[in-house]
Amino acid sequence: MLSTISAVNPWLLGVGLNTVLLAMAWAIPKKLLTPAGLIHAWILGILIWGTLGWRGYFVVMFYFLVGSAVTRIGMAQKEAAGIAEKRSGARGPENVWGSALTGTLCALGMLWVEEPYRSLLLLGYVASFSTKLSDTTASEVGKAYGKRTLLITTLQPVEPGTEGAISVEGTLAGVVASAAIAFISWGVDLISLIGVVFCVVAAFIATNLESVIGATLQSQVDWMTNEIVNFINTLIGAIAAVLLLLTWQWLTGL
């Protein structure tokens, strides 16, 4: 079946598949995306399928579905406290590209480069989504179940939902989430097993640096919205994973 799918023009297949999925998402009562968000997710899906095929698409769908699910953890509690995601977690265009722009750029780069750069871009692609899922999971689990929330820059107790806040529960959940999507990517042969390790480590680094940015610059710079910070976060994750791989190859002579 997969060989039959591969024989079809990937861009036409991407248009058809994403049109069907968009119609299904539009029809379900519980909206995961806003109307504008649906259009932008449609464009994103076509770009990913056209460049990386079903493997890359499977990874981004895993991120979206799991990320949407964890956003709804403890939703009633978070809404009562005023710390829930806006629109009850429904993603708009700004959320789509804040989370996926780095990965999309890595995917598009595959159109023009050859090995060994293709492997680096694939690692960056996976690491970007591993980072974002880690960040989303850590934040949402921390807000819902964090017993003690600390500001990352001072380690002083703060209210859940504070920019730059971390918790043990959220941090551990974030590591598990980053490992899950990295292993999924290994399972579909996008990255190697050592690449899984690099993605998890890179996601941990980037997620904590994102908390530092949230605790410092975000409140001081007007244009640094959550979506901009998300893009920076995923970019750091992608770059960190690539640097870890290059360092590993230099040390081992591979």
Give the pLDDT band of residue 43 (cuts 50, 70, 90): very high
pLDDT at 99 over 70: yes
Q: What's the pLDDT score for residue 24?
A: 84
Provide the whole-model pTM: 0.91
Determine whether 91 is exposed, middle or buried from the number of CB atoms within 10 Å of its CB (0-12, 13-18, 19+): buried
Mean pLDDT for all residues in the chain = 88
Cα dihedral 43, 49, 50, 55, rounded to 10, equals: 150
- Residue 75 pLDDT exceeds 90: no
| 188-209 average pLDDT score | 97
Kindly state the average pLDDT of the residues 27-54.
88
**Residue whose tokens read 């871009």:** 121
Distance from C-alpha of 159 to C-alpha of 78, rounded to nearest angstrom: 12
